Structure 1
Amino acid sequence: METNDLGRRVAAEVAGAGGIAGLRRLSEVVAALEERRTELVEELRRGQEATWEEIGQACGMTRQGATRRWAERLRARSFGVAAASYQHGRPGYPQALIGSAVPRQARKVLDLGAGTGKLTRLLVDAGLEVVAVEPDAGMRAQLAATVPKAAVRAGSAEHIPLPDGSVDAVVVAQAWHWFDPALAVPEIARVLAPGGTLALVWNVRDESEPWAAELGALMHRSTRQRIDTEPVLPAPFGPPERLEIRWEHETTRAGIIDMVASRSYVIALPEAERARLLADVEQLLATHPDLAGRDAIALPYLTRCTRVRLG
């Protein structure tokens, strides 16, 4: 009762005389409180200080409800602790992608969920004016250092810090599966100019190469992350155009280790299990007949792009 009374007093103070201004103030505070609650849940889970059962009880929900609400979001927010591995190990994108992902007439582009700037760099090098939005502070620091010509902003797909109709195109590389489409779709449509485009991009390892298939089997022996790389976008977006590019990422043994270490499901593993996995990947790279004695390695990829037009 005491906690409820405190909440009511704070809400009344924030809302003031009410009206639209009061509603706006309440909404801003609710968003800030929810963000802080998520941070606390993340701290408790990362330090193994509380179970999902205990977190659910503290939040007035069941264990299943707490897990559904936060588990995936915490995985999405885990990349910051491995930002250096992400930058070193993750592949970039083939140059041919730009002409398909961004219309020729586009000038200002939003890279949404930009990470450490793997695609941002290509967009800037193509002469585009780029705003890069990324929610994770660790990733943003890498992004700003890697692509200083981009305008780097804190934000998310559900809350884009740009005015209405302010960009010609939006690109989302390796991130759509972390978004809440019910909130992201109208928010992206809001910031796009009339007739603007949205491009969703994924790099997928080409496991038709036997050693790449063995690598994939190792990476997913504890968990399997299934991602739809050909999603269907609802209105107000039109029918999709799809493209697939086959290419090779020139990397090293250390680069592959960092690529594996930067996966969200690997970051989330218990430390002993994570160490075993990385040791087994090192063993594969050192002993597989196609890789033994080599440091320079060409890792085969398929880049898949879905582009849709607003309206």
Structure 2
Amino acid sequence: MTASSRAHSFNAAADQYAASRPSYPPELFDFIEEFTRRPLARARAADVGAGTGIATALLRERGAEVIAVEPGGAMAAKFHTLLPDVPVIRGDGNALPLADASHDLITYAQSWQWTDTTRSVPETLRVLRPGGALAIWWNTTAFDVPWIREQHQRIAHHCGVKPTSRKRPDDSDAIRLAGLSGLRVARRQVSWSRVIPLETHLANISSRSAFLVLAEDDKRAFLSEERGRLRDLFPDEAVEETYVVDLLVATRP
């Protein structure tokens, strides 16, 4: 299964993605403001790979003048339903459909890994104004929580992918960004959690790209077994998910 196929698999689950995927904590946006030394209010921002608009909505709540860039048709359509007053443009990070020196902030929430950095870094530099910033982040696995770590390993095994043992971006991402472009780079990790119904947690699992490309019988079998395990852990069927947001921020001269 190619990376492109996995990237576009989200179009088959846009409603599920919007309903079950986690948001992001306020501390993430606080750090972006602290590092860039400018408020998000009135900043001209582009959220790339915006999906159904989870991060876009938060940027708008902070006062940013935000537009979305999204390659998937179904995801863009769901975005428009949820955020009808926010512009969404079809495109991706390798060829941004944005004018030169037009934005103060470019963000990638859960989407930087789908880009070719030899193209997306120069594109970012082209579109950012002097002093502008690139912010990329992921909700990553909280490996210090035993049941989450064990579930991560089960999902990876079932999907035929290698389990990860680190958060991302790793230090090499920061070094590569700084070396390629002369950007000033900082990294921050923020732990946070949410409590959701068991079925929402299972829907979140099945909205992941490695899971979406599986056969329906394989998905149902795994989710049925996982439902039983989780009912033992959470008899009230209220699941506490813990995440570590891993954030990389880079400002250009």
2: distance between equivalents of 1:263 and 1:112? 18
Determine the structure 1 residue equivalent to 2:222.
277
Secondary structure of 2:205's partner?
helix
Q: What is the aligned counterpart of 1:175 among 111, 121, 130?
A: 111
CA deviation after TM superposition for structure 1 residue 150, in Å: 2.1
Q: What is the aligned counterpart of 2:31 among 66, 90, 100?
A: 100
Determine the structure 2 residue equivalent to 1:244.
189
2: distance between equivalents of 1:109 and 1:174? 16
Secondary structure of 1:250's partner?
strand
Determine the structure 1 residue equivalent to 2:17.
86
CA deviation after TM superposition for structure 1 residue 217, in Å: 2.1
CA deviation after TM superposition for structure 1 residue 105, in Å: 4.2
CA deviation after TM superposition for structure 1 residue 297, in Å: 2.1
Structural mapping, 1:158-173, within 5 Å: 158-173=94-109
Q: Give ranges in structure 2 of 5+ residues lacking alignment.
A: none
Q: What is the aligned counterpart of 2:50 among 78, 96, 114?
A: 114
**Cα-to-partner distance string for 1:131-152 (whole Å, 9 max, x where unaligned):** 1101001111121222233221
Relative contact order (C-alpha < 8 Å, sep 6+): which is higher?
2
Structural RMSD (CA): 1.7
Asked if the contact 1:237/1:309 (under 8 Å) is kept, the reply is no
> What amino acid does structure 1 have at the position aligned with 2:96?
I
Determine the structure 2 residue equivalent to 1:72.
3
1: distance between equivalents of 2:29 and 2:85? 17
Asked if the contact 1:134/1:154 (under 8 Å) is kept, the reply is yes
Determine the structure 2 residue equivalent to 1:18.
none
Q: What is the aligned counterpart of 1:286 among 231, 237, 242?
A: 231
Q: Give ranges in structure 1 of 5+ residues lacking alignment.
A: 1-66
Q: Which has the larger radius of gyration?
A: 1
Determine the structure 1 residue equivalent to 2:242.
300
Q: Flag the 1:225–1:240 CA change in 2: closer, same or farther, 3 A.
A: farther
**Cα-to-partner distance string for 1:193-221 (whole Å, 9 max, x where unaligned):** 01111011010121322221232122111
- Matched residues, number: 239
Q: Does 1:194 align with 2:130?
A: yes
Asked if the contact 1:215/1:284 (under 8 Å) is kept, the reply is no
Q: What is the aligned counterpart of 2:150 among 204, 214, 218?
A: 214
CA deviation after TM superposition for structure 1 residue 79, in Å: 0.6
Q: Flag the 1:154–1:225 CA change in 2: closer, same or farther, 3 A.
A: farther
**Cα-to-partner distance string for 1:100-154 (whole Å, 9 max, x where unaligned):** 2354245111111111111111100011100110100111112122223322111
1: distance between equivalents of 2:163 and 2:101? 34
2: distance between equivalents of 1:228 and 1:209? 17
CA deviation after TM superposition for structure 1 residue 228, in Å: 3.9
Displaced runs of 4+ in structure 1, greater than 3 A?
225-228
Q: Flag the 1:225–1:210 CA change in 2: closer, same or farther, 3 A.
A: closer
